[in-house]
Amino acid sequence: MSLKGKVALVTGSTSGIGLGIARALGAEGADLMLNGFGDAAMIEDLRGGMEKECGVRVGYSAADIGKPADIAAMVAETQKSFGALDILVNNAGIQFVANVEEFPEDRWNAIIAVNLSGVFFGMQAAIPGMKAKGWGRIINIASAHGLVASPQKVAYVAAKHGVVGMTKVAAIELANHGVTVNAICPGWVLTPLVQKQIEDKAKAQGTDEETVKHAFLADKQPMLLFSTPEQIGALAVFLCSDGAKTITGAPLSIDGGWVAQ
Ligand code: NAD
């Protein structure tokens, strides 16, 4: 229980990678503020289940990460109900694929608002409290697409490269305040976000999902394996540990060799 007494807020933790990270931080004893969309009963099940499983306090905020005022209110609510915010994981993210010349304006704006500006406003709201305590961990979930590009993902790649950049800026500013700021850059993780891309591609190509899964992996990763939300969670736990005290400003790949090529 290395994180007992710490308070963690994980954005987009009702599904996929965020849920895996929240579970991992909770298992180490951190109190949790969950966030994300979904059916109210499903979210309450998750919240109550985690409270029981981990023996920690678990709250939920319905903040829309595309809205700066919601983010500020969520951070304030976390600090009020738990007494502090020690660990911020900026994870909420969305995807849309189309060529540059066909990319819809509203999808561009939505992806930039959630995947890029949401990370900025999250850090801005959380940093003063962390600085005051002299301890904090900020973990931004970027992507292999924060380091290299793929076609048809212009907004996502722009946002994730931006996340890696702002992670470095914040890390430098906070270097002597006990606060580390890092970016995790996953390759393929089989979550609802990727499942939808697989289903769309299988439909478009008139093929089955297993074929598309293999093609997705073979196209990008030397290692033909999806990473799991549990593995991303384990990396987040490590970044919160004393062993990671001097790791800051780093984009950390967990991608089966994707960007090694
Ligand atoms: P997911 O769709 O399973 O989960 C996304 C979560 O974000 C959900 O909880 C959803 O409710 C929440 N969310 C979406 N928009 C929101 C908003 N406006 N306000 C609040 N919450 C919102 O996706 P995932 O695959 O778990 O992705 C999580 C993060 O990991 C994203 O930033 C994504 O870009 C990144 N990532 C995913 C992969 C992958 O292969 N799955 C790879 C690299 C990076």
- The answer to whether residue 42 sits within a structural domain is yes
- Residues 167 and 220 both lie in one domain: no
Residue 96: the pLDDT is 95
- The answer to whether residue 2 sits within a structural domain is no
Contacts of residue 204, Cβ cutoff 8 Å, sequence gap at least 6? none
- Residues 117 and 171 both lie in one domain: yes
**What's the CA-to-centroid distance between 163 and ligand 1, angstroms?**
14
- Residues 93 and 210 both lie in one domain: no
Average pLDDT of the chain to the nearest whole number: 97
**Position 1 confidence tier, pLDDT thresholds 50, 70, 90:** confident
Q: pLDDT at residue 141 above 80?
A: yes
Q: What is the rounded average pLDDT of the residues 6-26? A: 98
Number of domains in the chain: 2
- The answer to whether residue 93 sits within a structural domain is yes
Q: Is 60 a catalytic residue?
A: no
CB atoms within 10 A of CB 261: 8
Q: pLDDT per residue over 69-97, tens digit each?
A: 999 999 999 999 999 999 999 999 999 99
Q: pLDDT at residue 132 above 80?
A: yes
Q: pLDDT per residue over 173-231, tens digit each?
A: 999 999 999 999 999 999 998 999 899 999 999 999 999 999 999 999 999 999 999 99
**What is the residue range of 214's domain?**
190-226
**What's the CA-to-centroid distance between 255 and ligand 1, angstroms?**
16
* Residue 200 token pair: 């769309």
- Pairing mode, strands 31-35 and 251-254: unpaired
- Residues 96 and 195 both lie in one domain: no
**Distance (Å, rounded) from C-alpha 54 to C-alpha 28?**
8
- Residues 38 and 107 both lie in one domain: yes
- Residues 250 and 161 both lie in one domain: yes
Q: Active-site residue among 60, 82, 120, 156?
A: 156
- The answer to whether residue 43 sits within a structural domain is yes
